[in-house]
Amino acid sequence: MPRLLLPFLLLLVIPATLMAGDGPSMVALFGRAHVVMVHFPVALLMLLALIEVLRWRRTAGSMDQTVALIAVVTALSSIVAMIQGLMLGGDDGESDYAKLVWLHKWLGIATTLVACAVAVVALRRQLGDTIGLTRIYRALVLPGAVLVSLTGHYGGALVHGENHLRIMPWEIWQDLFGAKQNGPLDPAHADIPDKIDFWRDIDPIFKRVCYECHDAKEQKGELRMDSREAQLKGGEGGPSIIPGDSAKSLTMIRIRGEGDDPRMPKKKPPLSEREIALIAKWIDTGAEWPAKP
């Protein structure tokens, strides 16, 4: 057991020490460590559930020891992923993004608790298998697999934009039947607010995908994006925003990937259609940037 713990502790400690230097790129690194780590509990909880389904009729099994080992690794990796996730933070505010972070966070915490319970029961069962323990184990591991898929789904939405994978039953329902009631469903312009609020709608996007390379610390292309003045001044290619004219604004050209220069955010998944529409509307309506509330 102690030997098992070591690699996980290392994975936790390395990004944690880097975090001490704080700054956006450290947060980004830490975020990546979380995104890497979460694959363990996702795959392993699914695997544990699959094993139970495959040996549904058998209650005492020769695999109990192996299952217990996998269950322990699952619990450990969930704990590490959860701590990394909690250190990323980012669920303050009223934006849709913040709400998604909130949902993802609590589903993640619930998943970790269930994964720990699964490990405890699996370890007990391995010592002396009883039908009772197997029932409890199954009653935990199957909901655990559902929880981890939901958590992963919303996590994916955070990284790739909300419409990255519309596979949840209610989303399929929306796509199939929502369209008929509301005219063609255009996820890009669905629920774009009438009045853009910079701190609610725009700042979270810039924070998540732009400031890492364009703020006080880092000015790729000589561009600093963290104030209106800085964006009006712009970088090598001139102003990054032209209030009132999103089509000519360099930021829009770059996040849409028009022209020959690389699409922004560089080397990362593109913004969602909705996020692009939000920024375009923000610029078209004057790119207001009030003092931080």
Q: Does residue 250 belong to the site contacting ligand HEC (CB under 6 A)? A: yes
Q: How many whole angstroms from its chain centre is CA 170?
A: 20
| Closer by beta carbon to ligand HEC, 164 or else 220 | 220
Q: Does residue 64 belong to the site contacting ligand HEC (CB under 6 A)? A: no
Cis ω for the linkage preceding 265 (within 30 of 0): yes
Q: Does residue 125 belong to the site contacting ligand HEC (CB under 6 A)? A: no
Alpha-carbon distance of 221 to 239, in angstroms, equals 12
Q: Does residue 27 belong to the site contacting ligand HEC (CB under 6 A)? A: no
**Which of 9-17, 62-70, 80-88, 256-264 is the region at the interface with ligand HEC (rule: CB under 6 A)?**
256-264
171 CB-contact burial (10 Å; exposed 0-12 / middle 13-18 / buried 19+): middle
To ligand HEC, the closest distance from the beta carbon of 225 in angstroms equals 6
How many residues bind to ligand HEC according to rule CB under 6 A? 25
Q: Does residue 15 belong to the site contacting ligand HEC (CB under 6 A)? A: no
| Sole binder of ligand HEC in the list 114, 212, 274, 281 (CB under 6 A) | 212
Distances (CA, A) of 273 to 37, 231, 242, 276: 28, 22, 20, 5
Q: Which amino acid is at 89?
A: G
| Closer by beta carbon to ligand HEC, 120 or else 192 | 192
Distances (CA, A) of 149 to 38, 104, 140: 11, 11, 14
To ligand HEC, the closest distance from the beta carbon of 102 in angstroms equals 23
Residues 6+ away with beta carbon under 8 Å from 170: none
- CB hemisphere CA count around 165 (13 angstroms): 13
Q: Does residue 292 belong to the site contacting ligand HEC (CB under 6 A)? A: no
- What residue ranges bind ligand HEC (CB under 6 A)? 209-210, 212-214, 220-221, 223, 234-237, 240, 250-251, 254-255, 261-262, 264-268, 271
